[in-house]
Copies of this chain bind each other. A is one copy, B any other.
Amino acid sequence: MTTATLADLRAIEDLGHRFADAANHRDYDAFAALWTEDAVWQILPPIDVRFTARREIRAAIENLLGRWDFFVQMPHAPVVELEGDRARSRWTVQEIARSADRTRGNFNLAFYHDELVRLDGRWLYAHRTYHTRYFDDSPLPGTTCALPA
């Protein structure tokens, strides 16, 4: 395996890590920067929403996270397939969150199936599709702490 291939694989895994890190820290600009201009972010039923273009994705993440008291995504087990300037990735993600009024929990196990492109030497998401595998909205009884300053 060449250094260039290792760098590509690393960049694609890094993108999934930065997606979670930006969402978890509510850094909306960092989140938006991970997508192509005309990217599609699709969250399949039962959630069932679809956002098109970086600008709409930027608004969506701010709106979605505004509904939660806290939100933490934990990505696992990236599997990447490189095809020149395009790639696919797949992740197993766990999300734990609680509604802003703290009456409803959110414990999700899901998969992201992704399409990526390399533009000007940088890997970006062209399409992420979220497949829920298990969800539980039982209340969560714990205590939230503020985000790091």
Across the interface, A79 reaches (CB within 8 A) one of B6, B10, B17, B140, namely: B17
Given A144-B134, A145-B131, residue A92 in contact with residue B21 (CB < 8 A): yes
A residues 1-44 in Cβ contact with B at 8 Å: 1-3, 6-7, 9-11, 14, 16-18, 20-21, 24-25
Query: Contact between B138 and A134 (Cβ–Cβ < 8 Å)?
Result: no
Q: Which residues of B contact A94 (CB under 8 A)?
A: 72, 74
Across the interface, A107 reaches (CB within 8 A) one of B16, B46, B113, B142, namely: B142
A132 CA to B146 CA in the complex, in Å? 8
A residues touching B (Cβ–Cβ < 8 Å)?
1-3, 6-7, 9-11, 14, 16-18, 20-21, 24-25, 45-46, 70, 72-79, 90, 92, 94, 96, 98, 107, 109, 111, 113, 129, 131-138, 140-145, 147-148
A1 CA to B74 CA in the complex, in Å? 27
Copies in the assembly, this chain: 3
Query: Contact between B143 and A136 (Cβ–Cβ < 8 Å)?
Result: yes
Of all A-B residue pairs in the complex, the 7 with the closest CB atoms, nearest first, are A136-B142, A1-B7, A20-B77, A17-B77, A74-B76, A131-B148, A72-B109
Query: Contact between A75 and B72 (Cβ–Cβ < 8 Å)?
Result: no
A98 CA to B133 CA in the complex, in Å? 12
A9 CA to B141 CA in the complex, in Å? 38
A64 CA to B14 CA in the complex, in Å? 32
